[in-house]
Structure 1
Amino acid sequence: MKILLVSYYFPPDLCAGAFRARALAEALVRQGHGDVQLDVVTTEPNRYRTHQPDAPEAADADYRVFQAALPRHRWGIIGQVRSFAAFARVAASKAPESRYDVVIATSSRLMTAALGAWLARQKGAAYYLDIRDIFIDTIQYIYPSAAVLPLKGLLSRIERYAVNRAARVNLVSPGFLPYFRNIRPDVSYSLFTNGIDDDFEASAVPPAERTKGKVQIVYAGNIGHGQGLERILPELSVRLADRASFTVIGDGATRSALMRRCDALGAPVAFVGPVARDQLLDYYDQADVLFLHLNDLPAFLKVLPSKLFEYLATGKPVLAGVDGYCRDFLTEQAEGVAIFRPCDVEGAVQAFAELKLAHYPRESFRENYARHRIMDEMAADILALGQLEQEVPA
């Protein structure tokens, strides 16, 4: 069975989309039992300016990876358009087979979903779409309406094209269901969420008893409009300065704004650039509390951040500024989580005071959301689609 996986991000990039794509690639090979030829089309590492590894991580893998070289200046709206154009050209020209049984696109960016749909048609393949975000729902709250409104009609048509072209559609958050059922009510959506990678299983052992002193609070991940850290963290760190210290690990579009706000308030926040996973685990081990925050925007009432899975896997207490589906999920699924409304400093101070500093094994959560199990089930779903495609007479 020939399968083409299209993902804008892939390791050694450091982001949720890259880790999910790799886990899916490995599961497809594993579940295929030697009967799968898998090709991956992706970009060279580009998620963060400060993280530029050289070698492809999949050099010795049981699948082939084709990377698109991106323009040197690839940030900002114009840069992103040029980067995606380069990615699309490579996907169209370097996918080595003239025909595939299945094309998969894992997409938080709308155009990757559309590219996957186009490639599936060109390659005579069934199309499996894995949706990690609602692009249109997000950009209308992040970018000025004057820039978004003229494009919204076009973007909506592209979104409908991608969803309607798919033989099967997976959503990483059940909170997305009402939105996509409105676009296409006739399909049965699967819900293979993000999960816990094996790397984080070892970190779930109880730590040594903490010494007295300030509580060490760590945030790790993207620093962008979706997280809204500049709207909560500077003021919160000042309010808790006598009780806690904050470390922020990562990079993103609003990192500079966050740092400027911290400087203006004299906020005691330490900043660290993106780090590899082994280093990240060291930071988690040293932390007393892990911090999660989503911006106070309607688009983020539907999401289920990938970061919370690895946070919860560590057994550490979590201080979370979230609402909507994510709030409900954490309330039902996880202990040792203190929740406050996004961007609410007073609520965050109160939640911190109520948070018990202890180890939380969360055994059932780690079992239910083990990434290898989720991806094995998703791979089986994709392979079943490919089998159907093979059985259809040419």
Structure 2
Amino acid sequence: MKILFLTYYFEPDLSAGSFRATALVKELEEQLPKGSKLDVVTTQPNRYHTYTKESCDIERRDITTIHRIKLPEHKNGFIDQALTFRHYVNFVRRVTKGQSYDLVFGTSSRLMTAVLASYMSRKLKAKLFLDIRDIFVDTISDVFPKYITAWALPMFGILERYSINHADKVNLVSEGFRSYFQQRYTSSRFMYFPNGIDEVFINHPWPKPKGVQEVTVILYAGNMGDSQGLHIIVPPLAKQLGERYQFRLIGDGGKRLLLEEKIRKYQLENVELIPPIDRASLLAEYSRADILFLHLNDVPAFEKVLPSKLFEYASTGKPIAAGVGGYAAEFISEKIRGSKVFQPCDYESGAKAIKELAVSSEIDRTDFVSSYSRTSICKELAEQIIKTSREPN
């Protein structure tokens, strides 16, 4: 059996896509039958231009060969990423030239990796298994201005149909995506394996909540773009809460500069911005924090998503303040104890939630952690990938 695995992000990059793809490759290595071959085609770390950690261009381990390409520098802008993706496409074509595969697997958040996987499966006459982490068409319709969506929506709608209609199986990481895809495509091809919690978080000795503190540390770690809307919520929220609450925001993204400007405008001394850090350092930051913070911008598209960061946060046993709506709000309220949901972009309800969480006692999330182990989820997903590759055409 021979599988081509396409992922734009992979270890040692820092992103949800990287962590998910890395765990899934390790599980496939365990399950693939003797004599199999797994080719992973990815990039050198490029999620954040402020974080660079290069690894081997070609890495061979047992049945797996990992091919990485170094992309031109970019700052996570829409045009930037479109231009750099061309380099990845050409790299995939070079790596696979003259090769044959039984199945092409593509994990994709911004659609184009799914489009590429679909193209490659046709070219290679192989089965196609897609892992969809976001609804790109839905997102651009709500996030981008009309002068862009007027031409982009029809084009990306065609590309989405090109990808999904050709796939033998499609995994959706959020149950909130169900209605969107089932209204448009044959439902029998869909399955639902969410993001999960990596062993490094499950096995970490997390400290117990400290209760009321003189200064409450509120931590956010992740991307700082339009989707997260930190530039909208954090400045007025930090101003409202005052000096007894200290925000530590770790990461980078397209709206970080605007966030910095607003911090200066509000003359905030209780907000600290920290560049992206590796996982070992992040564990220490989580341990020191009193409350973990999550936020999505107030647009309809984000009512369907389930942020991967939730699983990581939940594993710590720390209180979680989440400015989310829709499916994510339902999921948190139902499944994650010791959390408060507030209306996205509403700093007053955010302040109320944080003040209530600041007096939290010990939180038991044992059941949640065991249910959403990344290892267990990837084991089942890998079984489905191998099963699909064996099915008759």
Per the normalisation by structure 2, the TM-score is: 0.95
- C-alpha deviation, 1:242, in angstroms: 3.4
Alignment of 1:189-228 (within 5 A): 189-203=190-204, 205-207=206-208, 209=210, 212-228=213-229
- C-alpha deviation, 1:209, in angstroms: 4.1
Residues 74, 82 of structure 1: 8 Å contact kept: no
Could you say if the C-alpha distance between residues 317 and 102 of structure 1 is closer, same or farther in structure 2, counting changes exceeding 3 Å? same
Whether 1:286 aligns to 2:296 is: no
- Partners of 1:142 and 1:358 in 2: how far apart? 38
Aligned to 1:276: 278
- Partners of 1:190 and 1:213 in 2: how far apart? 47
Aligned to 1:88: 89
Alignment of 1:71-110 (within 5 A): 71-73=72-74, 75-95=76-96, 98-110=99-111
What are structure 1's unaligned runs of at least 5 residues? none
Aligned to 1:387: 390
Residues 102, 126 of structure 2: 8 Å contact kept: yes
2:6 aligned counterpart, secondary structure: strand
Match of 2:322 among 320, 324, 333: 320
CA RMSD of aligned residues (A): 1.8
- C-alpha deviation, 1:245, in angstroms: 0.6
* CA distances 1:159-200 after superposition (whole Å, capped 9, x unpaired): 001000100010000000111112213433110000000110
Residues 219, 247 of structure 2: 8 Å contact kept: yes
- C-alpha deviation, 1:305, in angstroms: 0.3
- C-alpha deviation, 1:34, in angstroms: 3.5
1:235 aligned counterpart, secondary structure: helix
2:310 aligned counterpart, secondary structure: helix
Aligned to 1:5: 5
1:9 aligned counterpart, secondary structure: coil
What are structure 2's unaligned runs of at least 5 residues? none
- C-alpha deviation, 1:384, in angstroms: 0.4
Per the normalisation by structure 1, the TM-score is: 0.95
Residues 11, 57 of structure 1: 8 Å contact kept: no
Aligned to 1:24: 24
Aligned to 2:310: 308
- Partners of 1:207 and 1:96 in 2: how far apart? 54
Aligned to 1:259: 260
Residue type at the aligned position of 2:24: L
More deviation in 201-210 or 42-51? 201-210
- C-alpha deviation, 1:213, in angstroms: 1.4
Alignment of 1:328-347 (within 5 A): 328-347=330-349
- Partners of 1:318 and 1:186 in 2: how far apart? 34
Residues 12, 56 of structure 1: 8 Å contact kept: no
Aligned residues: 390
Residue type at the aligned position of 1:373: S
1:55 aligned counterpart, secondary structure: coil
- Partners of 2:5 and 2:73 in 1: how far apart? 25
- Partners of 2:273 and 2:291 in 1: how far apart? 16
- C-alpha deviation, 1:107, in angstroms: 0.3
2:128 aligned counterpart, secondary structure: strand
Residue type at the aligned position of 1:22: T
- Partners of 2:76 and 2:360 in 1: how far apart? 40
Whether 1:113 aligns to 2:109 is: no
